[in-house]
């Protein structure tokens, strides 16, 4: 009942803000919401390669110093731009060739999940090998190996030692270098690298370097750059068609800022103000998406599957199992309060193998709940929701 009334309010944006300001009047009056000082463009699509290359090394060094520290001084989370921004293209430095590339991902990561979905949708398995990290991300970043646990279940500080098999299935060790940590790949590509050690990483096996570590660009390459080598069945799948480009771009911008990254801004906030400044726009955007999907609309942009669906799916599939609890995005759930989004989500999951087969709820839940001790110090992974996604 309570949830329903909150959601009703959130659908009608006016009462939503009234509720918040009446609940938090003292806070909002004494501390007006901060203006954003971020030097980082809000959408990866807006970052041009020059601004990325010019990213100050102190920014990168800062990021590297403490891998588990995400919030900036004002308590808000600012995502750093990706650094490797080369492209696969016919006749280019990185041409589309069978078996030439390796995609390093985590099943847990929504950005990496985009690449996993598009790789399978486009039938690129024989062009791009796969390596899947263990879901736990500790102080040294992503690894293929389970961490060492203390007798009390805690994770002692280590210098990179790995623990015994913990029964988590689905890990695919690094097929090229048998590396222990993803950071090793970054240093192999650039020994002076000072940024974060993120996934996805698209690796060129032949040139032994990172082609690109920005998911929004990786999925565009997968969509178009292998077409000359693919069966027409796969070549004809176009997730970014000319006729819908401007609509997709416009939607990507606000969905990235308030939804894809909005859940992180909410969850990684370290002040009440920063949290509220993220969670309210997030639910306003969910309301907007819910409306877009009115009248049984199947896809988020136009009447065909596009990258807009892929980019939204990887956040919405994690929403009820993780973000509602772990990131405190709890003004509503997808299954109880957003019937259109829930229908859209279930359709993609159950009717498209590339969405279902790349979704691993065990990795997703284990990663978030166990890897952010500043948010969940006990590292207990909640049992629910059951089922992780409702049937059709
Ligand atoms: N802009 C990147 C973001 C990738 C990203 O932040 N990945 C996270 C996992 S969900 C990561 O690897 N984080 C490790 C870290 O920041 O140290 C993309 O879209 O590819």
Residue 70's pLDDT band (cuts 50, 70, 90): low
Q: Are 210 and 203 in contact (CB under 8 A)?
A: yes
Average pLDDT over residues 230-257: 98
Identify any residues that bridge with 71 across adjacent strands, giving them in sequence order.
Answer: 77
Tokens 């859209």, residue? Answer: 344
Q: How far is the CA of 214 from the centre of ligand 1 (A)?
A: 8
* Ligand 1 atom nearest residue 110's Cα: 10
Look up residue 44 and give its DSSP letter.
G
Where is 129: in which H helix or E strand? strand 128-132
Min mean pLDDT across 156-170, 245-259, 360-374 is at: 156-170
* Over residues 368-374, mean pLDDT: 95
d(CA 261, CA 282): 9
**Percent residues over pLDDT 70 in the chain:** 82
210 within ligand 1 shell (Cβ under 6 A):
no
Tokens 């990786």 label which residue? 218
Let me know the angle formed at the C-alpha of 383 by 380 and 384, rounded to the nearest 5 degrees: 130
Catalytic option among 47, 109, 324, 370: 109
- Span from the CA of 321 to the centroid of ligand 1 (angstroms): 19
The closest-lying atom of ligand 1 relative to the alpha carbon of residue 106 is: 9
Domains along the sequence of the chain with CATH:
65-371 (3.40.30.10)
- Specify whether the CB–CB gap between 331 and 283 falls below 8 A: yes
Q: How far is the CA of 94 from the centre of ligand 1 (A)?
A: 23
Write b or e for each residue in 314-347: b if 16 or more Cβ atoms lie within 10 A of its Cβ, otherwise e: bbbbbbbbbbbbbbbbebbbbbebbebbbbbbbe
The mean pLDDT value for 104-130 works out to 98
**Catalytic residue flag (residue 109):** yes
pLDDT at residue 57 is higher than 90? no
215 lines ligand 1 (CB under 6 A): yes
For residue 67 and ligand 1, the question of a CB distance below 6 A is answered with: yes
pLDDT for residue 49: 29
Residues 6+ apart with CB under 8 A from 374: 68
Paired tokens of 178: 């048998």
pTM listed for this prediction = 0.84
Looking at residue 352, its pLDDT comes to 98
Among 42, 63, 106, 109, say which to mutate for ligand 1: greatest number of ligand atoms within 8 Å of CB: 109
Radius of gyration of the CA atoms of the chain, in A? 21
Query: Are the CB atoms for 319 and 263 separated by under 8 Å?
Result: yes
- Find out whether the beta carbon of 82 lies less than 6 Å from any atom of ligand 1: yes
Q: Cα of 372 to ligand 1 centre, how many Å? A: 14
Q: Atom 11 of ligand 1 has which residue's CA nearest to it? A: 198
Give yes or no for residue 52 having a pLDDT over 50: no
CA atoms of 308 and 209, how far apart (whole Å)? 29
Main-chain phi, psi angles of 101, to 5 degrees: -120, 155
3-state secondary structure of 131: strand
Instruction: Using the atom order of ligand 1, give the atom closest to the CA of residue 111.
Output: 19
């Amino acid at each position: 009942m309570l949830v329903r009334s909150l959601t009703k309010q959130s659908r009608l944006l006016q009462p939503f803000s009234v509720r918040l300001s009446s609940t938090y009047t003292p806070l909002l009056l004494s501390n007006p919401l901060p203006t954003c000082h971020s030097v980082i463009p809000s959408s990866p699509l807006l970052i041009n390669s020059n601004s990325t290359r010019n990213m100050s090394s102190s920014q990168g060094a800062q990021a590297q110093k403490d891998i588990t520290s995400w919030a900036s001084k004002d308590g808000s989370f600012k995502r750093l731009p990706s650094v490797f921004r080369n492209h696969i293209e016919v006749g280019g430095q990185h041409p589309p060739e069978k078996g030439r590339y390796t995609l390093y991902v985590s099943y847990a990561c929504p950005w990496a999940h985009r690449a996993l979905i598009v790789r399978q949708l486009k039938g690129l398995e024989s062009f791009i090998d796969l390596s899947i990290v263990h879901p736990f991300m500790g102080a040294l970043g992503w690894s293929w190996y389970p961490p060492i646990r203390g007798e009390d279940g805690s994770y002692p500080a280590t210098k990179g030692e790995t623990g015994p098999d913990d029964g988590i299935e689905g890990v695919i060790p690094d097929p090229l270098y048998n590396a222990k940590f993803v950071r090793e790949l970054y240093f192999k590509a650039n020994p002076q690298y000072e940024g974060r050690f993120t996934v996805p990483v698209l690796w060129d096996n032949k040139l032994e370097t990172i082609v690109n570590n920005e998911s929004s660009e990786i999925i565009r390459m997968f969509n178009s750059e292998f077409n000359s080598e693919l069966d027409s069945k796969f070549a004809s799948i176009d997730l970014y068609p000319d006729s819908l480009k401007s609509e997709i771009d416009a939607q990507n911008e606000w969905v990235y800022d308030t939804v894809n990254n909005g859940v992180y801004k909410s969850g990684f906030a370290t002040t009440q103000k920063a949290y509220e400044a993220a969670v309210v726009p997030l639910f306003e955007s969910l309301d907007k998406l819910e409306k877009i999907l009115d009248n049984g609309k199947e896809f988020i942009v136009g009447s065909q599957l596009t990258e807009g669906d892929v980019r939204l799916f990887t956040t919405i599939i994690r929403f009820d199992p993780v973000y509602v609890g772990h990131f405190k995005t709890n003004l509503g759930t997808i299954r109880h309060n957003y019937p259109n989004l829930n229908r859209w989500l279930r359709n993609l999951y159950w009717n498209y193998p590339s969405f279902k087969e790349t979704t691993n709820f065990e990795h997703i839940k284990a990663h978030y709940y166990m890897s952010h001790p500043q948010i969940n110090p006990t590292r207990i992974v909640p049992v629910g929701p059951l089922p992780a996604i409702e049937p059709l």
